[in-house]
Every structure is written in C-alpha cells, then in structure tokens.
Amino acid sequence: MPAIVVAGLERAFGEFRAVQGIDLAVEEGEIYGFLGPNGAGKTTTVRMLTTLLLPTGGRASVAGHDVVSEARQVRASIGVALQEAALDPLMTGRELIRLQATLQGLPPVEGRKRADSLLERVDLAAAADRRVGTYSGGMQRRLDLAAALVHEPRVLFLDEPTTGLDPVSRKTIWEEVRALNDDGTTVFLTTQYLEEADQLADNVGIIDNGRIVAEGTPEELKAEVGNPHIELGVGEGAVAEAERVLGEIGRLLPPKGGKRVLVEVEQGSAEIPRVVRALDEAGIEVESLELVRPTLDDVFVDKTGYHLEEEEAGEESGERSPA
Amino acid sequence: MSDFAATARVVRALGARSIRQTFRRPQLISPIVVFPTLLLAIQTGGAGAGIELPGFPPVQSFLQFMLAGSMMQSMMLAGNSGGIAFAVDIEMGFTDRLFAAPIPRFAIVLGRLAGTAALGLFASIWFLAIGLIFGADIEGGVPGALLAMALITASALAVGGIGAAIALQTGSASVVQGLFPLVLVVLFLSSAFFPQALMVEPARTIAEYNPFSFIVEGVREPIIAGIDLTQTLEAVAAIAGIIALGLVLSARALKHRLRVG
C-alpha cells in the first residue's frame, strides 16, 4: 500500500491557486524528492499532507489515513521537519526533544531514553544542555531532524532540510536521511537543489506553478530529455568550422557562449574517438573536451523552460532565466 | 495512558515551557515583576497620605490598599506577555511543531494559559510577600491570602485567554505588544489604584461597570478587611465572564489559524 496518496489536491489563497490539482503516490520505504523553485507549491503541499493546512480541493492520505477526516491518526504516523527549523532558541536541545516526546505521547522514562539516544545519533550529545539559540545552522537542522524522529514515524516529511547549510552539514543530513530510509522510513523530501534530489530520491516529482510537470525516477526523467552531449572548447577562430564538422556527427545544441561547441551523441563515450578524429582531420585544435550526461536541470529546463538553480540565483533580481 | 492523562501531561509540559520561556526572556518577565513593583514603591511613597481623604476605605496603610492593584497590574501584564510569547511562537513556526503533533489542538492553548496562570500565582505571592515584608497586614489571614492568590491566578488565566486569542488571530507579536497601553488604560479605569468613590465622572461610572473593578475588589477585601462572600462571588463572576470570552475568542482564532495555515 502506498504511504502517501494524493489525488487532485488543491489549495487556493483567495484568487491565488498555490497548488492546482496535483496527483502523486509514494510507496512505503521510498524517498520521494519533491523538486521545484521557491513559490512552486512545495511547502503548501507539505503543509496539507502534514495536516497543518486544509486543502481547498482534492484528497490526500498519509499512512493510510485521510489528512482531513483522520488528521490526528496522520499526525501520530508522521515526523515533520519544516523549512526554517521551527525551534525555540531559549530551550536546550534536550528540553526540546523531551517536549517532542511528550507531544507524541511517549511515557516520561521512554521519552528521556529516546532523547538521549537521538541526541547521540545526530552528534549533539555534548551540546544537549546548551540553548538552541547558540547552535549553528547545521546543528539546528540535526536537532530538528532528531525531534521529528522521536516517535519512530512511518513517514518523515523534510521540507528543504538543507537549504542554507554548508556542504559538510548538507552531506551529514543526507547520510542521516539515507540511514533512516535504510531502516524502512518513507521520506517525503522537498528541495530546490537538483543534486539533493538526484543523490537521495528514488522517485522525483517536479512541481512548477502549483502543478506537477514531471514524475519518475531520476534516471527515467533524464532519459526522457535526450542523449548525452560532448562539450568542446576550441580555438578562437575555429568555432564555425568545428560546428560544421560536428554537425555531421550529431545534433548541435545551443552554445553556452565563447569558444564552446555542444554536440549531442547517442552512444555517449563511445563516440568520443570519432569526434576527436573528425576535428583532427579538419585541423581544429581541441582545447578541452567533456562528456556531459543529462541532469535533472536539463529535465527541469525541458519541462518548465527555465533553469531551476539560475531561478534561485535570479530571484533576488526578481527575474526568471529562460533556458 | 488515557487520553485525558496524556493531554494533561502535554498541558503541563507546555505550561512549564511557557514559564521557562518567560524567565529566560527579560523583556517578558520585567513587565510582570519590575514595572509593577516600581510603580507600587513610587505610589506608596508619594501618595501615602491619600488614605486620609474622606471617602477612602478604612485601611491600615496605602501599601495595604495598593497590593491588590499591583497584583492586578502584574497579572494583566503576565497575560499580555503570554500573548506576546505565543505570537512569537507563531512567527518563528514553533506552533507548527505543536499543531503537527497528535494532541488535541486546544491543549496547545491550554498549555500556554497554564503557564500564564502560574505566572499570575507567582505575581500574587510576590506582592503578598512584599506587603508582609513592608508591614502590611493581611486581614483575612491565611484563608484571605489564599483567596487573593486563587483569584489572581484565575484572572491571569482569563486575561491570558484574550492574549492568546489575539496572538492566534493576528500571528503578530507587535500587535499583541501594542496592547500594552490598553492594559494600563483598563486598569486606571478600574478601582485598582484609586477608590471608586473618589473618582470623578466619567471614570467613576466606567470603573463601576469595569469587570476588573469587581476582580480587584474581590482581591482587595481579604487583604484590607477580611473575606466578603458577595465581593468574592462578584469577582468570580467577572473572572468567569472573561474566561468565557477568552475561550470563545481563542476557539475562533484557533480555527482561523488552522484555516490560513
């Protein structure tokens, strides 16, 4: 039985339709990556699935319970770590986990045991009696994750768990998510990082403007958008000639500018010798050569028309970057 | 464990957190303790001769008269601080953690109110202790002191309910904080700091119908004269009315909060 089933789920805020009838299913024991830019509807969807927000249309069930009519049963089955770790800076780490254990109905002795073991697990035992306000961003995220696990939930919702973290803290969270999944926990992970979805998720759903625009395993999605391509750097005056030569081997892709030429190759690395030979015979000096396989960004571009990560960078200027 | 016992544990844990939060955040505790204590010292030192005025109720000292008013002020500011702290929880997303837990959602409001009521109890003990240290008698003896403490504790719960409702409705600590002057207006338009008989119109009429006048008189009587059943019942009725109002407003605001997410 799927751990999460969503059918035609909608949420409107006045005239604005944040989520516009999405459908998805997440199997038990799966990591589902929910990928999209800020404002796409990821957090609104998670808030509905975790019973924090009522849908305005459609249905959803989590761990076999309807999120509206059986909200309390849903809340007993899930762990939630929301975007911007919702922590009280005046509490200590230990106090927070013990409070969470009480909220989840664990007996006091059991709650204390779980708190100690979870603090150990996320490497916060030494800082357990310090106030949360003194923790680094990575420590706060680990504490939030530990709090979400106190009752050993069947389904874990992680809303952008690594946003704003340094690479080391991000890797630590990834390892913990993988370990949890190995233990059988279903994970619903929202992210705006392509690499995160690619590294962690068994299945990925891409959401844009409140609609799911693509869904599948990362490999299936990448295969859908086409073949690998070779990216070549050539001398200043040789770009046009290189394009002519390579155009006979494969489909040329829009250039990235400068002295780079991109050509799609169906056979991947097997076609590299042919490309090098053809350029050599034409007397073109190759400065660099790289085989590039399709990424989730290519999938994102294919489905939405713009780059996700450039979108994130471009948000401050309020612009969307076309592909 | 029964549902009731589990909910009681949650309310107690959230109440304890709320008290810790107040004592760890100076901007929350200082209005409850420092401000009313200073005002008590200034008024007692500067207006002590007021008790000689014709129409002033018979009291041992101005300090004895003022204790009930100071307790009321501290209690109302505890309610306001509780509302601010609740709004801060909403702003920083901490209430999402609570709303996502498998507990009845009214337990979240009750936990906050339990903490506010405990602060009310603390305020009553603080000012009774100050009174006793500086020579004020509690005419109603131990039962009178206990009655004053119980009324202030229940009042804190009542006022906290209104603070919690505003916090849930607005989700903004600034808005709740903005009600601070209103607390003082309500108090000064009651008999908290001055006998109703000596007030001029329209303050006198307003004070006559101000529910906080009934509460303050119910708290004051056991201190300056002894327990009076009528005044006690009037105070209890006023508190019950404010609790009912607070609960209705909180329930509506809670629904609103869950609807808007």
Same domain, A199 and A270: no
- Token pair, residue A213, equals 């625009």
Same domain, A44 and A72: yes
Same domain, A76 and A122: yes
The whole-number pLDDT of residue A266 equals 80
**How close A305 gets to chain B, by Cα (Å)?**
31
Q: Is residue A315 part of a domain?
A: no
The whole-number pLDDT of residue A256 equals 67
Q: Does A88 touch chain B (CB under 8 A)?
A: yes
Which positions of chain B have pLDDT values less than 70? Answer: 1, 261
Q: How far apart are CA A243 and CA A284, in angstroms?
A: 11
CB crowding A241-251: b at 16 or more within 10 Å, else e: bbbebbeebbe
CATH of the domain at A88: 3.40.50.300
Helix axes A239-247, A272-281, angle to 10 degrees: 130
Whether A320 shows a pLDDT value over 80: the answer reads: no
CB crowding B205-216: b at 16 or more within 10 Å, else e: ebbeebbbbbbb
Q: Is residue A164 part of a domain?
A: yes
Q: Is residue A303 part of a domain?
A: no
Same domain, A119 and A147: yes
**How close B91 gets to chain A, by Cα (Å)?**
10
Of A167, A192, A219, which one is at a domain's C-terminal end? A219
CB contact under 8 A, A52 and B96: yes
Tell me which residue of B240, B195, B186 sits closest to B220, measured CA to CA: B195
Beta carbons within 8 Å of B216's beta carbon, 6+ residues apart: B68, B69, B72, B190, B191, B192
Summarize pLDDT for A249-268 with one digit per residue, the tens: 888 887 766 678 888 888 87
CB contact under 8 A, A100 and B101: yes
Same domain, A214 and A231: no
The whole-number pLDDT of residue B71 equals 94
CB crowding A6-32: b at 16 or more within 10 Å, else e: beebbbeeeeebbbbebebbbeeebbb
Same domain, A215 and A231: no
Q: How far apart are CA A118 and CA B130, in angstroms?
A: 46
Residue A310: band (very low, low, confident or very high) from pLDDT cuts 50, 70, 90: low
Whether A323 shows a pLDDT value over 60: the answer reads: no
Residue A315: band (very low, low, confident or very high) from pLDDT cuts 50, 70, 90: very low
Q: How far is CA B7 from CA B104, B107, B151, B239, B250, in A?
A: 7, 7, 25, 24, 18
Mean pLDDT of A152-180: 87
pTM attached to this predicted model? 0.81
Same domain, A60 and A29: yes
Whether A322 shows a pLDDT value over 70: the answer reads: no
Same domain, A236 and A201: no
* Range name among A157-171, A305-319, B10-24, B103-117 with the lowest pLDDT average: A305-319
Q: Is residue A318 part of a domain?
A: no
The whole-number pLDDT of residue A321 equals 42
The whole-number pLDDT of residue B105 equals 87
Same domain, A53 and A130: yes
Same domain, A104 and A244: no
Q: How far is CA A38 from CA A13, A160, A209, A299, A318, in A?
A: 17, 10, 10, 17, 12
Beta carbons within 8 Å of A70's beta carbon, 6+ residues apart: none
Q: Is residue A250 part of a domain?
A: yes
Tell me which residue of B51, B47, B63 sits closest to B137, measured CA to CA: B63
Task: Judge contact between A26 and A2, C-beta under 8 A.
Answer: yes
Domain that holds residue A25: 4-219
Q: Does A104 touch chain B (CB under 8 A)?
A: yes
Whether A40 shows a pLDDT value over 80: the answer reads: yes
For residue A54, give the nearest of B24, B102, B258 by CB distance: B258
Same domain, A255 and A201: no
CATH of the domain at A273: 3.30.70.100
Residue A316: band (very low, low, confident or very high) from pLDDT cuts 50, 70, 90: very low
For residue B24, give the nearest of A44, A82, A90 by CB distance: A90
CB contact under 8 A, A51 and B21: no
Q: How far apart are CA B15 and CA B124, in angstroms?
A: 18
**How close A108 gets to chain B, by Cα (Å)?**
10
Same domain, A276 and A176: no
Summarize pLDDT for A191-246 with one digit per residue, the tens: 888 888 888 999 999 999 999 998 999 888 888 777 788 888 888 788 888 889 99
Q: Is residue A149 part of a domain?
A: yes
Report how many domains make up chain A.
2
Q: Does the predicted interface ipTM exceed a cut of 0.85?
A: no
**How close B5 gets to chain A, by Cα (Å)?**
10
- Number of other CB atoms surrounding residue A200 within 10 Å: 24
Residue A309: band (very low, low, confident or very high) from pLDDT cuts 50, 70, 90: low
Q: Is residue A259 part of a domain?
A: yes
Q: Is residue A193 part of a domain?
A: yes
